[in-house]
Amino acid sequence: MIIIAMKLPFLIILMFLSFSATALHSHEIHLSNGRVITTVNVWKEGEILKYEQYGGFISVPLSEVEKIVYSNSPPRKSATPEQGVSSAQNTPKSAGRKNLAALLKGKLRPGNPVEEASVSTLSVKTAVGFGSGFFISNDGFIITNRHVVRGDEKKNDELDEEIAQSRKKLREYEEDLNSGHQAIRKYRANLKEDWVMLRDVESKAYSAGDKRYVASKRRELNNLEAYIRKDEKRYKKAKKEYDREKRKFDKKLRQLKGGRKKLANQNSFEVILADDSRHYASLMRVSSQHDLALLKISGFQTPFLIPAPRGQLKQGENVFAVGSPIHLDLKNTVTSGVVSGLRGNYIQTNAQIYPGNSGGPLINEKGEVIGINTMKMVTHKFEGLGFAIPIEVALSEFKDYL
């Protein structure tokens, strides 16, 4: 093997490997911490070394590189990064696929790294709503949240509690209606008996005093009749209101259960890209440990986000939350903020994350993805804080695919 170390301050070198009869040769990047990275493409850009992996290009500081060991096959002619991406997309792996990346960039003409990232961001339509996602490879792999494609367990629990409370109130309302109806029926029966007794007394009333009693009693019973009729009218109105609310509740419950069932079994999702074109993506995997899921559209070369160099995230660094909450009419939105800290396994930021932004990327100023927007925490005294899962967690979780 030949060990090569060089510095080219004004030229970015992208080394392409030649194919043997059966396989593509790999280079080795030896880091100072002992880790060895294999890759088919590697080049230097200033004080940064970049290599191809996970369907994108990853950066590492040259200060952390001990040596680069190239394969025995002679490297091809050097190229610019743009030429390198084109060549990678024209390898046999990409042959025959429609170049969706070129189409999107031709339509949208991104003018900066953030707009470039927006090209790779999309909406995910499910049986119960929408979420966001983004391309992580040039062959159509999409990262999104687990709760986007399988439902939010916390929200489901909260909704189940609301359903239980609504069901309890309806039951109490029904019990009150039944009690009121029974009381009205009892009053009606008693009134009927009073009328029978009054007619009997009236038939035997001969004196003036008896006739005055009968007249007084008749007025009393007529008043009771009026009250009972009002109660019956109020009962019928309340019963109609109850029946209407019960039908609405039952309909929503059926829709909820039906939606959950459909979502639990849904393995194909419509995705709406940045240019409003629509495609279908297959569900490849749902993480059991993290709020992550992996989708894929087939038959296309797709734009994709490059993961940021691992371990370089700093507090106070400018970041942008990109998402496409189409149901909120906030499609292809970008909000800015800073990395305010790390909380457990999450990146914490003050960048505004809308509900439909879940699954979208959190990027740095270079347009590199550092995390996956996943939830929002709101307090009574402070502005809502956004949280994202670090991108390296997703790359590790889906390493068998990416």
Q: What is the pLDDT of residues 74-116, one digit of tens each?
A: 333 333 333 333 333 333 444 456 899 999 999 999 999 999 9
pLDDT score recorded for residue 55: 58
Which range in 93-107, 166-180, 193-207 is most confidently predicted, on average pLDDT?
Answer: 166-180
pLDDT digits (tens, 9 = 90+) for 133-156: 999 999 999 999 999 999 877 777
Burial of residue 316 (number of CB atoms within 10 Å: 0-12, 13-18, 19+): exposed
How many CB atoms are closer than 10 A to CB 335? 19
- How far apart (Å, rounded) are the C-alpha atoms in residues 154 and 131? 16
- How does the average pLDDT of the chain come out, rounded? 81
Name which residue leads in pLDDT, 127 or 18.
Answer: 127
132 has which bridge partners?
123
Average pLDDT of the residues in 372-387:
69
Nearest to 217 by CA among 193, 194, 200: 194
Average pLDDT of the residues in 307-318:
87
Checking if the pLDDT of 10 tops 50, the result is no
pLDDT score recorded for residue 398: 95
Checking if the pLDDT of 379 tops 60, the result is no
Contact at 8 Å (CB) between 336 and 318? yes
Q: What is the 3-state secondary structure (H, E, C) of the chain?
A: CEECCCCCCCCCCCECCCECCCCECCEEEEECCCCEEEECCEEEECCEEEEEECCEEEEEEHHHEEEEEECCCCCCCCCCHHHHHHHHHCCCCCCCCEEHHHHHHHHHCCCCHHHHHHHCEEEEECCCCEEEEEECCCCCEEEECHHHHHCCHHHHHHHHHHHHHHHHHHHHHHHHHHHHHHHHHHHHHHHHHHHHHHHHHHHCCCCHHHHHHHHHHHHHHHHHHHHHHHHHHHHHHHHHHHHHHHHHHHHHHHHHHHHHHHHHHCCEEEEECCCCCEEEEEEEEECCCCCCEEEECCCEECCCCCECCCCCCCCCCEEEEEECCHHHCCCCEEEEEEEEEEECCEEEECCCCCHHHCCCEEEECCCCEEEEEEEEECCCCCCCEEEEEEHHHHHHHCCCCC
pLDDT score recorded for residue 330: 58
Q: What is the CATH number of domain 98-147+280-397?
A: 2.40.10.120
Nearest to 334 by CA among 256, 288, 282, 386: 386
Average pLDDT of the residues in 239-265:
89
Q: Please state which of the ranges 229-238, 249-258, 299-308 shows the lowest mean pLDDT.
A: 249-258
pLDDT score recorded for residue 311: 77
Phi, psi of 220 (to 5 degrees): -60, -45
- In this structure, the strands spanning 98-99 and 300-301 are parallel
Nearest to 36 by CA among 65, 63, 6, 75: 65
Average pLDDT of the residues in 333-342:
89
Q: Please state which of the ranges 63-72, 109-118, 308-317, 326-335 shows the lowest mean pLDDT.
A: 326-335
Average pLDDT of the residues in 177-182:
92
pLDDT score recorded for residue 326: 61
pLDDT score recorded for residue 159: 79
Helix axes 208-265, 153-203, angle to 10 degrees: 160
What residue spans define the domains of the chain?
A: 2-89, 98-147+280-397, 154-265
Average pLDDT of the residues in 201-210:
82
pTM of the predicted structure, to 2 decimals: 0.62
Q: Distance of CA 287 to CAs 146, 268, 293, 394, 399, Å?
A: 7, 17, 6, 9, 12
Name which residue leads in pLDDT, 86 or 237.
Answer: 237
Burial of residue 223 (number of CB atoms within 10 Å: 0-12, 13-18, 19+): exposed
